[in-house]
Amino acid sequence: MILSLEKIAELLGATLIGDSDTEINGISTLRDANENQISYAVSDKYINSLSNTKAGAVILPNKLKEHCPTNALIVENTYLAFAKITHQFKHYNLPINNSSSKAIIDSSALVENVTIGPGCVIGKNVSIGKNTVIDSNCVVEDGVSIGENSYISANVTIQRECQLGKRCSILPGAVIGSEGFGNARDNQKKWQSIAHLGRVCIGDDVLIGANTTIDRGTIDDTVIHNGVKIDNLVQIAHNVIIGENTAIAAKTGIAGTTTIGKRCMIGGMVGIVGHLTITDDVIVNATSTVNRSIAKPGIYTGFFPLMTHSGWKKAGMWLTKLDKITKILNIKLKNLK
């Protein structure tokens, strides 16, 4: 899709400052956008990135226009305008007749080195490495790449343009590259969905458990680095980055744009809120809630609020004794009277 800035301004109800004939063919971040892409800035914290952007145009509020070195689209609600424009550049996977579709096999592999089970649907421009097995009833959409010696279990869905490395194992029912949960409210307080244009990129030697879902990025990619092990029923939201050799237990939910470091261990049923950074070598105990970034390696437990594990043990010890302490204090108060 290619749109002129005049057309984009019309779609968004924006005031255009700049060249209306400029053509835009995609969306990117302020940092990475080129002259044919559009980006957006919502607040003062993006002033430095905005001032240095090479984007062809930027969607922004009026208060930031003096910092914009390129074409500007002035709107009242930047996030809502961004939500609307994402859908203009979203690609939808076309229905495929499985009887005639073929996978594009890694050039180093023979066709017989790849096993594709019954009922699978393989999209266009798919690359599958040698010795990989795709079990029955899987859907592999357009532009997907799967590395050699990988195993894709039954009923797995890998959506468009996602990338899997070598020796990956994806267990039954997992969904890789689903639409992220991003919405913006309009003036009538109704939700407008944001189209997610990024991918999911998975490294080598990664395990994805049964019925786990990993959402594609909004603009940048969701990234799972080498050696990561993810249990069943885990939800990983858009733009999450998980460092090498981190392990995540079942029923954990990780909200969008959170970065988890290397060699971390995340227990079962942990909830991690969005836009956090967790450093390397952190252990989060089961059922904890992580509501702030963690900058120091260690063991953490967070039923209320998150603290170091040693601090939690001390607090827990006092909590179990509160009843006895209260009784003693009441006795002493009576004696004082």
275 counts as catalytic: no
What six digits make up the tokens of 110? 């023979």
DSSP tag of 220: S
Type of residue numbered 148: E
Q: What is the DSSP string of 170-185?
A: E-TT-EEEEPP--EEE
Q: Taking a C-beta distance cutoff of 8 angstroms, is the pair 286, 268 a contact? A: yes
Residue 195's φ and ψ, nearest 5 degrees, are -75, 135
Contact 165, 144 (CB under 8 A): no
Active-site residue identified among 67, 91, 238, 275: 238
Give the separation between CA 251 and CA 248, rounded to whole angstroms: 9
Q: Which distant-in-sequence residues (6+ apart) come within 8 Å of 330 by Cβ?
A: none
Q: Is 131 left (phi over 0), alpha (psi -120 to 50) or beta?
A: left
Answer yes or no: are the C-beta atoms of 115 and 133 closer than 8 Å.
yes
Q: Where are the alpha helices (DSSP H) in 87-215?
A: none
Residues present in the chain in total: 337
Q: Which two tokens stand for residue 53?
A: 């952007």
3-state secondary structure of 334: helix
**CA separation, residue 270 to residues 165, 206, 291, 308, 328 (Å):** 27, 20, 11, 15, 37
Count other Cβ atoms within 10 Å, centred on residue 63: 10
Structure tokens at 317: 């010890």
**Residues annotated as catalytic (active site), given as ranges:** 238
